[in-house]
Structure 1
Amino acid sequence: MTNFPQIGKIAPNFLTIGVYKKRLGKIRLSDYRGKKYVILLFYPANFSAVSPTELIGLSDRISDFKKLSTQILAISVDSPFSHLRSLLSDREEGGLANLAYPLISDLTQAITNDYKLLTEDGLAFPGLFIIDKEGILQYYTVNNLLCGRSINELLRILESIQYVKKNPGQACPVDWRHGDPILYSHPLKSKIYFKDLYSPKKS
């Protein structure tokens, strides 16, 4: 049985080569600890069918993630030179020109293995992990290779995680967005929420 990294535990650290703004450099996950949330986005390979749509979509929404003090790191089993080639290729060619965050190389597949996402073909399943400022894993999803992920839903989840961390004892109900009514983690306190939501409305 494959055991994924556990929610509430320290996310597996790594040190590898990343490419950002056409420059190669070392990237260590733990360097963001105490500074930013991290969205660690695994994708199968450069120039694959779905990946450019997700990576470009995230880049185009980078200001939304910066407002939430969140760093995006995208990782695949491609070499740094494949990443560089992708970043030098225009978007209409399936490339990632002007990407607003680093691409990380996992050529040895060690990181993908640590996060239990390696396919039988040696690629990475599309996994996404939210890691808080303490380096703790707060959320993850894994898709099949042909279904794109939702940026709006990712932002909603990220906001809810940050909200409950800042407001101990509170919880976010289904489809919660900032400003919506909240629950309390104590079931008796949350009776007010359920009463307001489900009681018959007076005409």
Structure 2
Amino acid sequence: FDIYRIERFQSQFNVIFQHLSITGSSAAFRVPVSDHSLHLSKAKISKPAPHWEGTAVINGEFKELKLSDYKGKYLVFFFYPLDFTFVCPTEIIAFSDRVHEFQAINTEVVACSVDSQFTHLAWINTPRKQGGLGEMKIPLLSDLTHQISKDYGVYLEDQGHTLRYRQSRGLFIIDDKGILRQITMNDLPVGRSVDETLRLVQAFQYTDKHGEVCPAGWKPGSDTVIRSCSTFSLFKYSYTKSCTIQAYR
């Protein structure tokens, strides 16, 4: 295991806790807007998702993994700042514990950070009661070169913080054709929702199959919107039980 790296993290966390005890806030985790690399991102909605490949920990073993391995399936690909941290395990464990719900709709989940595969494995082998992940049902991908993070616009270089190289909480939904359908980007203090991610995948899959569009808050079984025409300059909505759009020139 990468013992040196783990010990270094523990030293860094002591600094963070000291800061929190002084400020009494989550200021230590906030990132200046200038540090975000969204403007450099290759990840564009409705375009092919940037290719990635690397070493991941899958079922306790090191395996090579790449985006094309998921061709024909939807993929939830999410980044988190670092192993052995605080919000991150709550997100990763939540997705892992419910991955069967995604797999039931032909969707897989992969988590990624800038940690090495050795640190990933050490974290997995640490019991949850001791701050570890325990058994994982989703792959943890290593982005040690930071290239994947940069391609997806989540790489952060915060010069004023002990944890210099990190990632924001970016989540990307990639469809079965490799097209990027959704991007969520959170500031560091707030984790993401498994329920909302699952709902979005279900919504995109529904529109793929039926050609209809999903209104705000749509859930499986709810009414959808049928696009009844393709060209109009002035329109109004006429909602019936099926939420059909009626358009008028």
Aligned to 1:141: 184
Aligned to 1:199: none
Contact 1:89 1:96 in 2 (8 A): yes
Q: CA deviation at 1:176?
A: 0.6
Rounded Cα–Cα distance in structure 2 between residues aligned with 1:75 and 1:189: 44
Rounded Cα–Cα distance in structure 1 between residues aligned with 2:204 and 2:228: 18
User: Are residues 1:183 and 2:216 paired?
Assistant: no
Aligned equivalent of 2:69, options 11, 20, 31:
31
Amino acid at match of 1:6: K
TM-score by length of structure 2 reads 0.74
Change (3 A) 1:177 1:81: same
Pair member with larger Rg:
2
Aligned to 2:45: 7
Aligned equivalent of 1:164, options 191, 207, 217:
207
Aligned to 1:67: 104
Rounded Cα–Cα distance in structure 1 between residues aligned with 2:188 and 2:118: 23
Rounded Cα–Cα distance in structure 1 between residues aligned with 2:100 and 2:108: 11
Contact 2:79 2:168 in 1 (8 A): yes
Rounded Cα–Cα distance in structure 1 between residues aligned with 2:85 and 2:228: 46
Aligned to 1:97: 134
| C-alpha RMSD of matched pairs (Å) | 2.0
Residue ranges of structure 2 left out of the alignment (5+ in a row): 1-37, 158-163, 230-234, 244-249
State the 4+ residue runs in structure 1 displaced beyond 6 angstroms.
Answer: none
**SS of alignment partner, residue 49 of structure 2:** coil
TM-score by length of structure 1 reads 0.90
Mapping 1:43-62, distance limit 5 Å: 43-62=80-99
Aligned equivalent of 2:165, options 115, 122, 127:
122
Percent identical across equivalent pairs?
A: 38
Rounded Cα–Cα distance in structure 2 between residues aligned with 1:70 and 1:118: 25
